[in-house]
């Protein structure tokens, strides 16, 4: 039913996925990857005996470019893009989104993500929390799940949930790792979002980073533990390493050390760092603690 499409992000396998579903009369895609992965997706779909131009429904979890940067390509083919209301204006006019991403990625923008273009508002559908979208015999339930991003939706289909980034990343037999980029990281909302997913009692999670996972209880235990460790590490060390570059370097060292305890291959470590580079999380977690302090 669900086909995992590996977009081979930046040449790395099992780093970023999108998911193809064939209904009675439609092709459905969950997540799009960045626009520069469109040709790879097209190729993979062709190998499955399908035509990328027949994808008419695209469900994105949020508007970060590794999840929806290619949505405009599918919209040009006639697809409707289903997205959180907070994300919809940025798909219609991505200028602010591009500027925000450029602050993080600088001159790597084009290499990482490719072009980001406008989507006609008529092809953007803003989804309400718990709204059910019917496509032929399938029903997609929208679960507002902030914490990683305020515009995040986890999509439930039958007994499985497409988790975007709110369930973190887990590649093959590697650890569960969160992604905490600015500006929306919120630890309390993240915990509430995990509970929302747990309450739905899924039998499988489909992670954009990466693939199908069954042991839900174990997965969220590990995610909660790592979130606490990362947030506590930044809080403890932010003043010690006042220079942001040094703080980022030390955090990368810390995360790498934790990953190596899992006794996984160098190749798998590189896949993790491609899918979820730890340096992005430093600014996001710092911003969380700063706002927390200001609101006391």
The H-assigned helical ranges of the chain are 38-47, 65-68, 71-76, 88-92, 95-105, 109-113, 187-199, 216-237, 244-260, 266-275, 279-294
Say if residue 183 is preceded by a cis peptide, omega within 30 of 0. Answer: yes
pLDDT for position 177:
95
pLDDT of residue 65: 93
Q: 6-53: per-residue pLDDT in tens?
A: 999 988 899 999 999 999 888 999 999 999 999 999 999 999 999 999
pLDDT, mean over the chain: 94
Q: So what's the pLDDT on residue 214?
A: 94
Least Cα distance to 193 among 145, 237, 260, 228 occurs for 145
pLDDT tens for residues 121-164? 999 999 999 999 999 999 999 999 999 999 999 999 999 999 99
The residue assigned the tokens 């798998």 is: 268
The whole-number pLDDT of residue 293 equals 78
Residue pLDDT, tens place only, 209-254: 999 999 999 999 999 999 999 999 999 999 888 888 999 999 999 9
Check: CB of residue 272 under 8 Å from CB of residue 174: yes
pLDDT at 109: 85
Which residue ranges make up each domain of the chain? 2-222, 229-294
User: Which structure tokens are listed for 108?
Assistant: 């790597």
Q: What is the pLDDT of residues 68-106, one digit of tens each?
A: 999 999 999 999 999 999 999 999 999 988 888 887 788
- Is residue 279 scored above 90 in pLDDT? no
Q: Is pLDDT above 80 for 256?
A: yes
Higher-confidence residue: 176 or 276?
A: 176
Out of 3.40.50.920, 3.40.630.10, 3.60.15.10, 3.40.50.10140, the CATH code matching 2-222 is 3.60.15.10
Q: What is the pLDDT of residue 104?
A: 76
Backbone φ, ψ for residue 160 (5° rounding): -120, 155
Give pLDDT tens digits for 50-66: 999 999 999 999 999 99
pLDDT above 80 (res 295): no
Residue 195: pLDDT band (50, 70, 90) is very high
The structure's pTM equals 0.95
């Amino acid at each position: 039913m669900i086909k995992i499409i590996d977009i081979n992000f930046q040449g790395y396998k099992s780093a970023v996925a999108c998911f193809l579903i064939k209904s009675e009369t439609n092709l459905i895609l969950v997540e799009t990857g960045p626009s520069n992965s469109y040709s790879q997706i097209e190729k993979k779909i062709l190998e499955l005996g399908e035509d990328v131009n027949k994808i008419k429904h695209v469900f994105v979890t949020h508007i970060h470019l590794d999840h929806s940067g290619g949505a405009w390509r599918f919209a040009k083919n006639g697809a409707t893009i289903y997205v959180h209301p907070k994300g919809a204006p940025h798909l219609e006019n991505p200028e602010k989104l591009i500027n925000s991403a450029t602050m993080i990625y600088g001159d790597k923008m084009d290499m990482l993500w490719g072009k980001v273009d406008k989507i006609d508002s008529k092809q953007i559908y803003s989804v309400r929390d718990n709204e059910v979208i019917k496509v032929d015999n399938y029903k997609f339930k929208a679960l507002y799940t902030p914490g990683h991003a305020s515009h995040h939706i986890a999509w439930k289909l039958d007994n499985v949930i497409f988790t975007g980034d709110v369930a973190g990343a887990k590649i093959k037999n590697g650890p569960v790792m969160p992604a905490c980029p600015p500006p929306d990281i919120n630890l309390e909302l993240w915990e509430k979002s995990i509970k929302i997913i747990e309450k739905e009692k899924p039998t499988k999670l489909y992670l954009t980073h990466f693939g199908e996972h069954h042991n839900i209880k174990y997965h969220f235990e590990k995610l909660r533990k790592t979130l606490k460790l990362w947030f506590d590490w930044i809080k403890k060390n932010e003043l010690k390493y006042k220079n942001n570059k040094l703080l980022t370097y030390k955090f990368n060292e810390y995360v790498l050390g934790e990953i190596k305890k899992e006794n996984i291959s160098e190749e798998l470590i590189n896949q993790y760092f491609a899918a979820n580079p730890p340096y992005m999380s430093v600014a996001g977690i710092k911003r969380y603690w700063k706002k927390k302090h200001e609101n006391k």
